[in-house]
């Protein structure tokens, strides 16, 4: 049985999917995490772990000893006020560790708007949203740290994440899905299981300093996906709303950018076949296994 000492800054759905995959492969897992909650001992799927308090200004000093012992670090905390708090608060400890693997989870919002055209890892980054601007700044911070200290760092640019719990089928059922009238709007997505699987693949196939788009094979419009999901649920006559009538600023920002994210580098380097190549397989699986009609 292999041992892994892993420190997760943030412990959301992606980190949990990753840990689930590691556990299935019979690793002996020594896990530490952070959250805004008070420091406490916790259990995830039979894995006992220590969760440490961390916000943008303070943290439990006891986490430092476990961070120094870690050989793998996953960062899924978004930037706070324009900066990456892990680089800001913990780089000096990471620099002096025996780390083997550091992965920063970024987002494809760094590309900005490309008018529905394809983007890959070599495309120009021209973020339009504050989130995209902050993500790009965080990426640069990690890449600078990699160069300065010769650290084993890779960056995953995640497309829109959906899961068995959080998906368009659920939003349609509870009435929060919105069919927005916006022409030539394309975006990419990926099921959280595929992210976890690729993170696991990267434990043994790793190239430092690289950036990978993590996305499925079929960039689509929001309208296409909603209409397909509605068909699965036998929901008819969904009302369209105009983009200027959206009240949610995050949703408005979402519709500013239109691009198709190329995943060729990810699939070729990790020799990975997607579990859910498109939203069609993903939504059908969720509907058949998790949705109550």
Tokens of 169: 């089928």
Residue 160 CA to its chain's centroid (Å): 8
Structural domain includes residue 284: no
Looking at residues 74-93, what average pLDDT do you find?
94
Structure confidence by residue, pLDDT tens digits, 117-142:
999 999 999 999 999 999 999 999 99
Q: Residue 205 has what pLDDT?
A: 97
Query: How many residues make up the chain in this entry?
Result: 293
Q: Residue 203 has what pLDDT?
A: 98
Structural domain includes residue 8: yes
Q: Percent of the chain beyond pLDDT 70?
A: 100
6 pLDDT higher than 90:
yes
Structural domain includes residue 253: no
Structural domain includes residue 211: yes
Structural domain includes residue 78: yes
Q: Residue 123 has what pLDDT?
A: 98
- Range list of H helices, 123-248: 130-149, 168-174, 192-201, 222-233
Provide the mean pLDDT of the chain: 95
Structure confidence by residue, pLDDT tens digits, 211-245:
999 999 999 999 999 999 999 999 998 888 988 88
Q: How many CB atoms are closer than 10 A to CB 214?
A: 25
> Confidence class of residue 246 from pLDDT cuts 50, 70 and 90?
confident
Structural domain includes residue 65: yes
CATH classification at residue 140: 3.40.50.720
Structural domain includes residue 290: no
Structural domain includes residue 245: no
111 pLDDT higher than 90:
yes
Higher pLDDT, 158 or 83: 158
Overall domain count for the chain? 1
Structure confidence by residue, pLDDT tens digits, 7-46:
999 999 999 999 999 999 989 999 999 999 999 999 999 9
Taking Cα atoms as reference points, which of 38, 49, 105 lies closest to residue 77? 105
CB-based contact 191:276 (threshold 8 Å): yes
> Confidence class of residue 247 from pLDDT cuts 50, 70 and 90?
confident
Q: Residue 106 has what pLDDT?
A: 98
The Cα–Cα gap between 245 and 182 comes to 12
Tokens of 254: 């979402």
Q: Percent of the chain beyond pLDDT 90?
A: 87
Q: Residue 248 has what pLDDT?
A: 85
277 pLDDT higher than 90:
yes
163 pLDDT higher than 90:
yes
Q: Which domain, by its residues, includes 85?
A: 3-163+190-215+261-274
82 pLDDT higher than 90:
no
Q: Residue 244 has what pLDDT?
A: 85
């Amino acid at each position: 049985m292999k041992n892994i000492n892993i420190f997760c800054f943030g412990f959301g759905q992606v980190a949990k999917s990753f840990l689930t995959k590691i556990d299935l492969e019979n690793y002996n897992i020594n896990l530490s995490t952070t959250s805004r909650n008070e420091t406490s001992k916790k259990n995830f799927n039979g894995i006992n772990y220590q969760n440490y308090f961390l916000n943008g200004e303070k943290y439990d000093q006891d986490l430092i000893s476990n961070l120094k012992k870690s050989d793998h670090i996953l960062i899924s905390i978004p930037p706070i006020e324009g900066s990456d708090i892990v680089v800001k608060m913990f780089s000096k400890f990471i620099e002096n560790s025996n780390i083997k693997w550091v992965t920063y989870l970024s987002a494809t919002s760094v590309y900005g708007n490309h008018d529905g055209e394809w983007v890959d890892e070599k495309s120009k980054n021209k973020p339009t949203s504050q989130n995209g601007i902050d993500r790009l700044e965080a990426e640069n911070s990690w890449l600078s740290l990699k160069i300065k200290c010769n650290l084993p760092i890779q960056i995953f640019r995640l497309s829109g994440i959906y899961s068995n719990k959080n998906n368009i089928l659920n939003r349609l059922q509870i009435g929060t899905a919105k069919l927005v009238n916006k022409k030539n709007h394309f975006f990419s997505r990926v099921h959280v299981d595929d992210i976890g699987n690729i993170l696991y693949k990267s434990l043994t196939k790793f190239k430092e300093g690289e950036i990978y788009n993590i996305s499925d094979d079929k960039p689509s419009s929001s309208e296409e996906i909603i209409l397909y999901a509605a068909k699965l649920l036998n929901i008819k006559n969904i009302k369209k709303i105009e983009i200027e009538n959206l009240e949610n600023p995050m949703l408005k920002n979402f519709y500013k950018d239109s691009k198709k994210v190329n995943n060729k580098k990810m699939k070729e380097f990790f020799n990975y076949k997607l579990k859910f190549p498109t939203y069609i397989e993903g939504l059908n699986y969720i509907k058949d296994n998790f949705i109550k009609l």
